[in-house]
A and B are shown apart, each in its own frame.
Chain A
């Protein structure tokens, strides 16, 4: 146990070290006399931009708008992926029907749908949530299907010979056995949600973190751009951590948790 703790703390220290090094390098380079603060604003400017935007309410409004879009797109996209992925993975008929369609759509980057979605639905809230939904669905459904297909046959046989119906096998064996894959799908979907969120807000939005990025570029407020990048990184990081906690709670039974 002490060895584990030692390894764990070394891991934390090394991780913190690499972040600290990047910080130190940034401070060093911004303090050089030949640095152009318009391209690389000093950290003090970035922090100042944070407080300015916090006091004006811009930041919280933007964060709220973006988180709402992520939550909606993520929830709808992953829920659809779970239902459809389970059906495809468990029922041969559904697989034959839908698998070619999913395979055909899979290589298309979700951002490629943006123009057609704008043509069809305009640049409103619906379009942005729709793009995030598509992105979350596509990356998640593939994992759900893989999970259902990798259910060890011996578990299915064991349940069947104990008298489980096909649906009971699905509910009590296939879904729990596929949980590691499903959770991974959810985590990848979360990352995809952030990617598409920013892209959709860069293209067409009057608020949100992507909008603040775009505004910073337009008025050459590099400090604001940098600040938003850090905020996005921080939010995505925190969400991923929360997800890992949920994952390791749900996966107590697995040898390969974390």
Chain B
């Protein structure tokens, strides 16, 4: 049973007004439970808007989305999100950031400590528990961000170009580590990016959106075996997909 379903979804900013701008036009998609999906497209194709709608931060002007058959309305801890910008709370230490979600629901100190220990380790931040975010690099802060969302145990993970601001090496490490973490818990992931290689490396399915207005242009199933490693980035199959998608994003 598909976990997330998007049906006849359109969105127009300033609908009915003189400057109405349609950013998404009749989107129909479904994301299987436990799959890793990417949405790619050039800037302005509405991919971030679509993701924010799945998070419940935005209401589409037409159509609907459902999670396990329930209409998505407003934010919910079941749909966790990692943002493009730095969203780590600077006034909390690394550990307090990680246990933020459980604390919201009144977790005991013991439960919080367990969550902190588990997820600082999982995202590779052991030993940094008591640091302030300002003392960490951009890559490490992203790790805090991802650990915090995972520690909150959502059903769906929405990621909006989370590695967009990182340098190439850090980015590749983060991609591998994200896959490792994902492999262990198999949450449904919807990952927005404009980086084709990143999308291929991570995903089971890639949705290519065309620009202005955003429409589903192509859906690519990626059948590279898992677990994936960096050598796969140079295989014929990988490069084939890359070439194909490259052509689509060009126009």
Contacts and interface: CB of A to CB of B under 8 A. Distances in A.
Summarize A's interface: helix, strand, loop or mixed: helix
Contact of B55 (A161, A179, A252, A255): A161
Contacts of A255: 134
A152 B84 CA distance: 13
A161 B104 contact: no
Contact of A160 (B57, B90, B105, B148): B57
A176 B85 contact: no
Interface in A17-66: none
B31 interface: no
Interface stretch (A123-131, A137-145, A162-170): A162-170
Contact of A172 (B56, B90, B100): B100
B83 A162 contact: no
Nearest to A250: B91
Given A160-B57, A161-B57, A172-B104, A253 B83 contact: no
B75 interface: yes
Given A157-B57, A160-B75, A176 B89 contact: yes
A40 B221 CA distance: 89
Interface residues of B, number: 29
A35 to B, nearest CB: 55
Interface of A: 152, 154-155, 157-164, 168, 172-173, 176-177, 179, 252-255
Interface of B: 55-57, 75-77, 79-81, 83, 85-87, 89-92, 100-101, 104-105, 132-134, 145, 148-149, 152, 158
24 contacts: A152-B85, A154-B83, A154-B87, A157-B55, A157-B83, A158-B81, A158-B89, A159-B100, A159-B104, A160-B57, A161-B55, A161-B75, A161-B76, A161-B80, A161-B158, A163-B75, A163-B101, A172-B104, A177-B89, A179-B91, A252-B132, A253-B91, A253-B134, A255-B134
